[in-house]
Amino acid sequence: MYVTTVAPGESLAQVARRTGVTVEALAGANGLGTDGRVTPGLALVVPSNQYVVQAGDTLFSIARLSGLTVAELRRANPGLPQVLYPGRRLRIPDPPRRAAEVIGYLPLTDPGVTADDVAPWRGGLTWVALFSHLIDGEGNLPPIDDAAAITAARAAGAQPLLSIANMEPGGAFSPEFARRIITVPEVRERTIASVVRLLNEKGYAGVDADIENIDADLRQGYVDFLRELKQRIGDRLLNVAVPPKYDEQTFAYARGHDYAGIGRVADRVYIMNYEFSWVGGPPGPIAPLPQYRRVLLYAASLIDRAKLLAGISTTAYDWELPDTPENRARPLSHDAAVALAIERGVPIRYSEPQASPWFRYTDGSVEREVWFEDARSLLAKFAVIRELGLRGYGIWHLGARNSGLITLSRMLFTVSGG
């Protein structure tokens, strides 16, 4: 397996000939349409163990796009010279598959997301967090239609998690709801009792706590809430989702989350390591690699790495240009973003410093810019996860399809049970 990019003027059939695989295999591994259309700069996962050296290739660049180290590549190809000449054939061994736990979020609160979105991940998930039971200011958890999703999670070989969030109906995380859940005894008790009741009634394997926008003065209070929640749910899993940060000053939104305290209480901690560029801000990489790595290094310095799950976003953002405070990006799935670039016939560019793909297109008289994750950027993130020895990773979200991610995950990881 390795990743290649479509050259200017190449068709999918020509890429297939260049890489020695069938058009059907390429299309299937990357979620492409049956028409075989592609666009320059598109990154494709190639399901093959043979690689033909191209002009400008180095052992390092080939290893990076194969999920391997240079040493692993050399061992598979004894006698390789320092300089590679175009046309030489290399053996690309299957990368060592690491054991990992994978959590996938299924936002049943989002239009169009259904239980059917779990099936493509069959055998590739440890847990499915059904997002979300929205806690109100009184600690009530209104019911959601989760029966089909619970069944789908189990059919895919995963355990369902009850996700709870302090989100208002409009989609914003409420600091006032968080404060009441944490500090008002009767609200706190009602919340925890409702969670325990739902676990027992519906057979969830545990809880995913996604309480966000917590005021900084409630850091310890939130840890205390989680400790009580964990005591009440017993052996069932407690996963806590936390926003990204690499210090305690830069990210005001994350000051209420005490990484170290949460890490001592929770069974798993999911780092929501994305949204560095978000729908309400200017266009840019959603999870630039330097910040992605910095966040995980900081988290790993405070939390047991055997508990850490690194978040990966499958959502693309499509911004109108020029950007203004009033313009909000349109969310797309990765596969929809790729289809858009192909439809508009625009090349996909790649920011090497940020390890992030992007493109621009014109919609009528309006220029727009799209940033997303592709196979190259995902391999770079997986390399960090493996290097740091984290427990695994997580996906926000299963309703936004990234076919390349599904393929890469199956090739790189052996998914373990919770």
Q: Burial-class residue 301 by CB neighbours within 10 Å (0-12, 13-18, 19+).
A: exposed
Let me know whether 248 and 390 are in one domain: yes
Q: How far apart are the first and last CA of the chain?
A: 28
Give the β-pairing of 43-46 and 2-5.
Answer: antiparallel
Give the pair of three-digit tokens for residue 275. 């949204």
**Boundary residue ending a domain (42, 63, 91):** 91
Let me know whether 123 and 252 are in one domain: yes
The CATH number assigned to the domain holding 376 equals 3.20.20.80
Let me know whether 81 and 122 are in one domain: no
Instruction: Compute the average pLDDT of residues 243-255.
Output: 95
Let me know whether 74 and 37 are in one domain: yes
Q: Is the bond into 322 cis (omega within 30 degrees of 0)?
A: yes
Let me know whether 139 and 208 are in one domain: yes
Give the span between the Cα atoms of 48 and 45, in whole angstroms: 9
Let me know whether 315 and 208 are in one domain: yes
Let me know whether 81 and 142 are in one domain: no
**Residue 129 backbone dihedrals phi, psi, to 5 degrees:** -90, 115
Tens digit of each residue's pLDDT (9 = 90 or more) over 400-417: 999 999 999 999 999 976
Confidence of residue 326 (pLDDT cuts 50, 70, 90): confident
**Residue 207 backbone dihedrals phi, psi, to 5 degrees:** -125, 140
Let me know whether 128 and 23 are in one domain: no
Chain mean pLDDT for the chain: 94
Q: Is the bond into 133 cis (omega within 30 degrees of 0)?
A: no
Let me know whether 52 and 167 are in one domain: no
Confidence of residue 206 (pLDDT cuts 50, 70, 90): very high
Tens digit of each residue's pLDDT (9 = 90 or more) over 217-243: 999 999 999 999 999 999 999 999 999
Q: What is the pLDDT of residue 79?
A: 87
Instruction: Compute the average pLDDT of residues 97-111.
Output: 94
Domain around 83: 2-91
Angle value at C-alpha 385, between 379 and 387, nearest 5 degrees: 100
**Boundary residue ending a domain (38, 70, 91):** 91
**Boundary residue ending a domain (65, 91, 117):** 91
- One DSSP character per residue, 223-241 reads HHHHHHHHHHHTTSEEEEE
Let me know whether 141 and 87 are in one domain: no
Confidence of residue 315 (pLDDT cuts 50, 70, 90): very high
Which residues are within 8 A (CB) of 302 and not within 5 positions of it... i.e. 6 or more apart? 259, 260, 263
Q: What is the pLDDT of residue 81?
A: 83
* Among the ranges given (40-44, 79-83, 157-161), the one the predictor scored with the smallest mean pLDDT: 79-83
Tens digit of each residue's pLDDT (9 = 90 or more) over 338-365: 999 999 999 999 999 999 999 999 999 9
Q: What is the pLDDT of residue 418?
A: 54
Give buried/exposed letters for 381-398 (b at 16+ CB in 10 A, else e).
bbbbbbeeebbbbbbbbb
Let me know whether 397 and 320 are in one domain: yes
Domain count, the chain: 2
Let me know whether 327 and 304 are in one domain: yes
The answer to whether residue 80 scores a pLDDT higher than 90 is: no
Tens digit of each residue's pLDDT (9 = 90 or more) over 257-301: 999 999 999 999 999 999 999 999 999 999 999 999 999 999 999
The CATH number assigned to the domain holding 64 equals 3.10.350.10
**Residue 188 backbone dihedrals phi, psi, to 5 degrees:** -60, -45
* SS3 of residue 28 by DSSP: helix
Tens digit of each residue's pLDDT (9 = 90 or more) over 122-178: 999 999 999 999 999 999 999 899 999 999 999 999 999 999 999 997 789 999 999
